[in-house]
Structures are given as C-alpha cells and as structure tokens.
C-alpha cells in the first residue's frame, strides 16, 4: 500500500484518553436556566481546550490511505520482525535470524484512535527496539494486507494479518456443518481479497455422497473444496501441498479439527486437541489465541481459536450481494438500482433463485447476512 510522507501528522486519540471539558459560559447558563445546572457532568476539567485535547501531533510520521498513522523509526536501532502471537500486553516477535523476543507496544501506538480492538495482531510485520536480552518495544506496525477480521461489540477484532489464503475448516459431523457460517467466511475472504479454500474434515463419519450437492454448489462457483479426514489420513497430500510455501490461516468452529490436521502435516508441532462433546456436539477451545506457526516444509500457518459466531466487519448491507459470486451477475439487471433483493418486485436475483440458477440455501445465507443476524 502506497504511503504519503508527512513531517507532522495530527492524530486522533482514543476516547478513554480524553478528559471532558467544561463549558466556559456556566454563569450565563446558570442565570438563564437554573435547572440546567443539575444536569451538568461532574468532575470536568476547567482548563481543557475542547477538541484540541483529543488530538496529538506526531512528528516524522506517515499516514496511509486508510488514515492510519505510522511513526517513523530509526532503522539503525530497530529490527524488523513478524508477530507470532499476542498474549495480553505481550507480543511474541520473531526476527530474520530466528530469535524471538517478548515485546511490549509503544504507548503512542496504543493511544492513537482506531476501531481495532487490539493494535497488534498475529502476522503483523513490526519494527522493534531491542531491550535487554530477549525483550523489546514495538515502535511501528507496517501496513497490512490479507487481513481477516470480525466484528466484536462494534469494534474491529483483527484475527490475523498478511496471509495469502484462508482455509475454512468445517466438519461433516461432530460438530455439524454450518453452511451459513461457511458463507460468512467466504464473504470476508472476498472482502479482504484473500484466496479461500473450503476444507471439510471428518468425512469418514458420514456417507460422502451426502456432501455432493453442497460441494457441487461451491465448486461451480470456483471455490476449491477439499474432503479430508484427520483420523483416516484421507486427503492429507493435497492439504499439505496447499499449505507448502505460503502464509495461510486456518479458521472455523471449535472442534472441527484444525489442530489435528496441522499435527498430521507437521508432527513436531504437537498442538493440543480435545474431543467434541457428545451431548452438545460443540468443540472445546484448545487454541486460545491466534498463533503464527512456521512449517518445517516452508511457509507459515496461523491457527485461530474456534469461533461459534462470526459477525462481519466493515460490510454494509448494500455491499453484501456484491460479495456473493452467484448473486453478483444478476444485481445489475434488477429494475431498481437500490434493490435489496429481499422484497422488491421484479428482482433479477429473486427470479434467478426461483429458476434454480441460484441455490436457495445460498440465497437464505444472503438474507441472513443482509439482515445483520448472527450465524
């Protein structure tokens, strides 16, 4: 991503760093309306400068096309590395020589206003100022690409960054396959321009013929679909070849077997696995944080915590149809330019569903995502 250099950048600060300022005409307000005094917020600063207190000038900084501020760093002192994982306030960063340091994040980066829940995420390329034998301070986060995010209470929860492909791991059974959740990941991949691969694990537990209608729908849309079994070892050669030499992220529900699949292709990882509950058919969280894992065969893979709900980030209802490969060709043929494809008549998308050109289940996923419902 291109950057425009600036000597000084006026940056917004997080709201929790602000002190609410007191109005400077309290006497006049008191004289005009005594009852309004009771409504004034307590503990306000008398000397604040209004909106000016919510900004800070950052010298020798850069601002990218998305408005994110990146402070300049002294490359003679700092070293570039990649974040393996983030645990609380500490980020584990690996450098080109293989060394790993426990790094805190520079206060300025944590103070700058952002929609992100955390400033640093697994996969980030960062500049670190060494401190001591095995510690350091993250001075700057490089611009990202291939970002997988979800909506977490109205804020951006960045799961991983700088990945080439997204392996959406689901299971044929235990837990059951959730097509709507699968569609949400596909929309996110389209939005982030990450190559998606659908990986259906535990196919040994069912008659594989039952999956063919579903696989046919996604294959016709151009998505690559793998059928694998971590228990029986089916499909592992193709699974391994997809990961080799690339930066990949594995995501999906808890219990679908992400860690088990990684253990098979690289036994040295020895990732923890647990059984799925027989009563609820829900998996237990064995992976608690996203972690960048170097593979012995080359490349990196990021194992993410299992997710039971996946709310889309930065996708407005009007954009959803454009991220569905099967709906997209029909959108421009609707009578109304602002057609939502939900209730309007006539509607080219709805007509295509009625004629069987668009799979009805996929259309139901569209309706649910457009309405903002959870998976």
> Is 372 labelled a binding residue?
no
* Contact between residue 342 and residue 369 where contact means Cβ atoms under 8 Å apart: no
At 74, list the tokens.
């002294």
> Is 343 labelled a binding residue?
no
> Is 365 labelled a binding residue?
no
> Is 119 labelled a binding residue?
no
> Is 204 labelled a binding residue?
yes
- Helix (H) or strand (E) segment spanning residue 212: helix 212-220
End-to-end C-alpha distance for the chain, whole angstroms: 32
Cα–Cα dist 235/264, whole Å: 11
> Is 257 labelled a binding residue?
yes
At 83, list the tokens.
């974040």
For 374, residues 6+ apart whose C-beta sits below 8 A from its C-beta are 309, 311
- Residue 184 pairs with which residues in a beta bridge? none
Q: How many C-beta atoms surround the C-beta of residue 110 within 10 A?
A: 16
Instruction: Identify the DSSP state of 172.
Output: S
> Is 347 labelled a binding residue?
yes
Instruction: Identify the DSSP state of 187.
Output: H
> Is 259 labelled a binding residue?
yes
> Is 341 labelled a binding residue?
yes
Q: How many C-beta atoms surround the C-beta of residue 50 within 10 A?
A: 11
At 103, list the tokens.
């790094």
**Burial category of 178 from C-beta neighbours within 10 Å (exposed 0-12, middle 13-18, buried 19 and up):** middle
> Is 339 labelled a binding residue?
yes
Cα–Cα dist 315/149, whole Å: 11
> Is 219 labelled a binding residue?
no
Cα–Cα dist 88/95, whole Å: 20
> Is 32 labelled a binding residue?
no
* Contact between residue 37 and residue 49 where contact means Cβ atoms under 8 Å apart: no
> Is 44 labelled a binding residue?
no
> Is 254 labelled a binding residue?
yes
> Is 334 labelled a binding residue?
yes
**Greatest CA separation found in the chain?**
82
> Is 136 labelled a binding residue?
no
- Cα Rg, the chain, nearest whole Å: 25
> Is 212 labelled a binding residue?
no
Binding-site entries for Zn(2+): 334, 339, 341, 347
Binding-site entries for GTP: 201-204, 252-260
Binding-site entries: 201-204, 252-260, 334, 339, 341, 347
């Amino acid at each position: 991503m291109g950057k425009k250099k600036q000597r000084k950048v006026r940056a917004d600060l997080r709201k929790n760093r602000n002190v609410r300022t007191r109005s400077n005409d309290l006497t006049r307000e008191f004289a005009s309306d005594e009852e309004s005094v009771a409504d004034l917020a307590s503990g306000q600063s008398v000397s604040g400068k209004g909106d000016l207190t919510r900004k800070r000038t950052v010298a020798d900084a850069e601002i990218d096309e998305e408005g994110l501020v990146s402070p300049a760093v002294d490359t003679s002192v700092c070293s570039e590395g990649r974040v393996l994982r983030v645990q609380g306030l500490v980020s584990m960063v690996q450098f080109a020589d293989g060394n790993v340091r426990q790094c805190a994040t520079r206060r300025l980066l944590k103070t700058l206003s952002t929609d992100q829940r955390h400033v640093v995420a697994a996969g980030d390329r960062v500049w670190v100022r060494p401190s001591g034998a095995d510690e350091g301070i993250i001075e700057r986060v490089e611009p990202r690409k291939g970002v997988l995010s979800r909506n977490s209470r109205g804020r951006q929860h960045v799961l991983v960054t700088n990945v080439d492909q997204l392996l959406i791991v689901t299971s044929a059974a235990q837990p059951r396959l959730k097509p709507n959740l699968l569609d949400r990941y596909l929309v996110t991949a389209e939005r982030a321009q990450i190559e998606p691969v659908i990986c259906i694990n535990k196919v040994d537990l069912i008659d594989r013929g039952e999956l063919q209608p579903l696989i046919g729908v996604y294959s016709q849309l151009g998505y690559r679909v793998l059928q694998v079994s971590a228990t029986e070892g089916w499909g592992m050669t193709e699974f391994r070849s997809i990961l080799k030499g690339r930066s990949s992220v594995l995501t999906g529900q808890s219990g679908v077997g992400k860690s088990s699949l990684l253990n098979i292709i690289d036994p040295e990882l020895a990732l923890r696995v647990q059984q799925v509950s027989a009563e609820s058919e829900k998996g237990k969280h064995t992976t608690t944080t996203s972690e960048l894992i170097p593979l012995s065969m080359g490349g990196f893979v990021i194992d993410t915590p299992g997710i039971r709900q996946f709310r889309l980030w930065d996708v407005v209802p009007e954009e959803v149809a454009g991220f569905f490969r099967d709906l997209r060709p029909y959108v421009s043929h609707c009578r109304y330019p602002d057609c939502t494809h939900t209730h309007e008549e006539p509607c080219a998308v709805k007509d295509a569903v009625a004629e069987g050109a668009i799979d009805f289940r996929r259309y139901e996923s569209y309706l649910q995502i457009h309405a903002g419902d959870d998976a």
